[in-house]
A and B are shown apart, each in its own frame.
Chain A
Amino acid sequence: MVQQLPAIIVVAPLFASFFVFFFGWRNKHLAFPMAMGGVSVCVVSAIAILDTVIRQGTIQYRLGGWAPPWGIEYRVDHLTAFMLCLVSMVGWLAAMYAKKSIEKELPEKICLFWSLFMLLMTGLLGIIITADMFNLFVLLEVASLTSYALVAIGGSKAPLASLRYLIIGTVGASFYLIGIGYLYIATGSLNMEDLRLLLPGMYGSRVVQTAFVFIFIGFAIKIALFPLHSWQPDAYTFAPSAVSVLISTAVAKTFVYALIRIIFSVFTLNFIKEILPVFGFICWVAALAMIMGSIFAIKQTNLKRMLAYSSIANVGYIVLAIGLAPSSTLGLTPAVMHIVNHAVIKGCMFMAACGFIYRYNMWDIRQFTGLGRRMPYTSLAMILAALAMIGMPPGVGFITKWYLILAALEARGYVFVVVIFISTLLMIIYFWRVIEIMYIRPEKENTFPGKPGVNEIPASMLIPGLLLGILSFVLGVVWISGTFHPLLYAINTGFGFGGTP
């Protein structure tokens, strides 16, 4: 049973999706319990896998029983297991949150929504766990196609946003496919481990270098790295609430993980340090994303759109952490930390923002006067996450920034320290505006229809949001306490970094 877990974690949501589609078509009340069952299996298997990896080291799983370079292989190392846990847990919370919001927003498409949701989970978990370049592409297609469809259900402008997402996203996916094609011509292999062993002999080859460039650009589009982000704000804004929550957390983070996996597991540190020293350039792009994302966020009046631009800035943080990794002893620690931290913070913020829409149909920040008293707990979750992101100790944002500054100082990138400070200032501007309007400005009359007094969203939507809000501070303490240091150490050494966490 334990050795079958890598297959089970991907196949469980897949089966859930068939069952939801098959039985949910007749009786839509069955859809949610079956979907929830599927995600729960994922969470349990992810935890069991992480436990096994910590105790026994890397797990290998041969699909169809074929040995690696010929068949497809799953390889679960520490980072993989960690990401499986993150994505399945975030998916679980998003599913919990989605129940009520979907019942309100899309009453007649519940069964279709849940089967797409489960297929998306399959795609994401498959991308994380696979050790085969082409298998990653196929699952990328599954994940992308389902996210286009999920964004498009939103109504009004959502189909147009989804069409742009589809066109630009497909360009990204084809760049990745071109990259795989070039690698295959150069080496004749698709297995990541095999490629890692074959590539050093041909690092000088133009084919391999072109492959790297195209794979990087392809994923830069998928993670919405500035200036390739143009699909992202519309997609996040017009998607249904539950979908905004899921794609801003699980989907974006999975693609970042895939980028890390391919850069450091297939091309390795040596390639980046000696053959194609592009990481200085990547750091500058990331710095630009951090500043420009925040500036665009300040201009927005739609809360979801502001959060979308804030995500662009945060992708900049993660990419900066990746860019600094080769030149500091901290290695991938800041990057891994911010992947988790941003998933927690942004998940919480989108849950709160969509809560305001759910209850009062409010998305314009200027209308929020008095909302802090009408929806105290949802607002509290929002503010906890905002404070954590700005960097109030011991919030998770503070930890990321602290480690990033350490890494930047060590890499002698003093400019990036300044960039981090500037982007923090900009974050304070755009989040403080929300806090001020919600709590301090007096409530206008007739803003809130319906009954007077406190009017919260249902518990199944409120609890995941509050939980993530509280977690954004608790997790900060956990990072400081060093509970995860052995894991981070194992992740760094696994990729050939020095390894002080």
Chain B
Amino acid sequence: MRIVGLILVVILGSVLFYGSLAFPPWGDPASPASSHLSPYYIEKAMEDTSVPNLVTAVLADYRGYDTMFETIVIFAAGIACIVLLRTFKETESGSRLYRHIPTGITLKIDKKGRFPEDSVVFERIDSHWVPHDLIVKTTCRLIVPFIQIFALYVIAHGHHSPGGGFQGGVILGAAMIIYAIAFNLRSAIRRMSERSAVMLSSLGVFIYAGTGALCMLFGLNYLDYSALAGLLGVDPVTARSHGILIVEIGVGIAVMAVIVTLYYNLASAGRHDEGL
């Protein structure tokens, strides 16, 4: 079987290679790919959408419908991960770990013992014990706000520079994950519960699809942002630029929430028992 597979791969690979020999020369300005549709985008994008970044204009406006479904793919991946990993049966592990905050000592209390209340003195921690590390935690505390601000900048500045919802969302999610790694899953889930992550992922894609539907309510086609001109109080071309910003925010929220959901499920093998 392996040899058959190898032969097939070689045959298909050589067909691909054979086909690629007839490509137009690399970087040829007269090739169909750069002479058929691209000139229109290059000449008209600013006029049509008032977005200086051509890539953003094509991605979120001319072909915004594709981008909406790219977001849906991520949303679907999030649901798929919950479906596969999340176990809904509550299992209580035998013993619990607590940290005595003033001294930093970790206590293991067996099932029969008396569990202390969560307070300023005692803090329950993950059952997989993570060493208490002042340097890591403090560094993380310091950089997380900057990561988040940078993420917001990437989302909001997608019109003018490389960036946008997907990249910004990933950075926002990464900020949450670094917090969860430096502290523990319990603390992260206390900041953003599983339910709010799930709700946010749904809300994010809803903002995108809802903007499209809103355009339809104003009498134009789906995702034709110029329909929002009246609502936003600007001219139709500027409305396109604002519309792009709205959907980018939606994408950012959805991506961030899905990334966090994926991390929670993978890190706790779907049990979430550390935070519930």
Contact = CB atoms under 8 A, between A and B. Distances in A.
A126 interface: yes
Given A63-B221, A188-B35, A149 B198 contact: no
Contact of A63 (B16, B65, B75): B65
Interface stretch (A96-104, A137-145, A298-306, A424-432): A137-145
B123 interface: no
Interface string A68-82: 011110000000000
A31 B222 CA distance: 26
A113 to B, nearest CB: 8
Nearest to B209: A14
A4 B216 contact: yes
B115 interface: no
A65 B226 contact: yes
Contacts of B165: none
B73 A66 contact: no
A153 B199 CA distance: 22
B84 A159 contact: yes
Given A63-B221, A149-B83, A188-B35, A135 B198 contact: no
Interface in B209-262: 209, 212-213, 216, 220-226
B21 interface: yes
A57 B124 CA distance: 68
B171 interface: no
B82 A112 contact: yes
A11 B213 contact: yes
Which of the listed residues A11, A63, A182 has the most CB atoms from chain B within 10 Å of its own CB? A63
Contact of A65 (B199, B205, B221): B221
A156 B82 CA distance: 17
Contact of B32 (A62, A66, A146, A185): A185
Indicate the member of A15, A64, A211 with the most B CB atoms within 10 Å. A64
B38 interface: yes
B110 interface: no
A119 B201 CA distance: 14
Given A142-B76, A189-B36, A64 B61 contact: yes
Nearest to B205: A18
A419 interface: no
B37 A188 contact: yes
Contacts of B122: none
A205 B22 CA distance: 7
Q: List the 7 closest pairs (A to B, CB-CB), nearest first.
A: A210-B19, A188-B36, A149-B80, A65-B224, A188-B32, A7-B222, A108-B88
B209 A11 contact: yes
Given A25-B198, A64-B223, A72 B65 contact: yes
Interface string A124-168: 001000001011001101100110110011000001000000000
B238 to A, nearest CB: 16
Q: What is the interface of chain B mostly: helix, strand, loop, or mixed?
A: helix
Nearest to B223: A64
A41 interface: no
Interface residues of B, number: 57
Interface string B104-129: 00000000000000000000000000
B209 A18 contact: yes
A67 B135 CA distance: 57
Interface in A165-210: 178, 182, 184-189, 198, 205-207, 209-210
A146 B20 CA distance: 33
A145 B73 contact: yes
Contacts of A113: 83
Interface string B60-92: 011111100110110111011011100010000
Interface of A: 4, 7-8, 11, 14-15, 18, 21-22, 25, 61-66, 69-72, 108-109, 112-113, 115-116, 119, 122, 126, 132, 134-135, 138-139, 141-142, 145-146, 148-149, 152-153, 159, 178, 182, 184-189, 198, 205-207, 209-211, 213-214, 217
B149 to A, nearest CB: 29
Nearest to B82: A112
A134 B66 contact: yes
Contact of A112 (B15, B79, B203): B79
A126 B66 CA distance: 11
A116 B66 contact: no
Given A18-B206, A187-B32, A119 B221 contact: no
A71 B79 contact: no
Contacts of A22: 199, 202-203, 206
A64 B65 contact: yes
B33 interface: yes
B202 A188 contact: no
Contacts of A115: 79
A109 B80 CA distance: 11
B230 to A, nearest CB: 15
Contacts of B195: 25
A210 B69 CA distance: 28
B162 interface: no
A70 B19 contact: no
B206 A153 contact: no
Contacts of A186: 32
A126 B18 contact: no
Contacts of A61: 221
A279 to B, nearest CB: 19
B203 to A, nearest CB: 8
B77 A145 contact: yes
A60 to B, nearest CB: 11
Given A25-B195, A134-B66, A210 B15 contact: yes
B76 A119 contact: yes
Given A63-B65, A116-B79, A116-B83, A206 B209 contact: no
A268 to B, nearest CB: 18
Contacts of A135: 65-66, 69
Contact of B212 (A11, A25, A187): A11
A214 B12 CA distance: 9
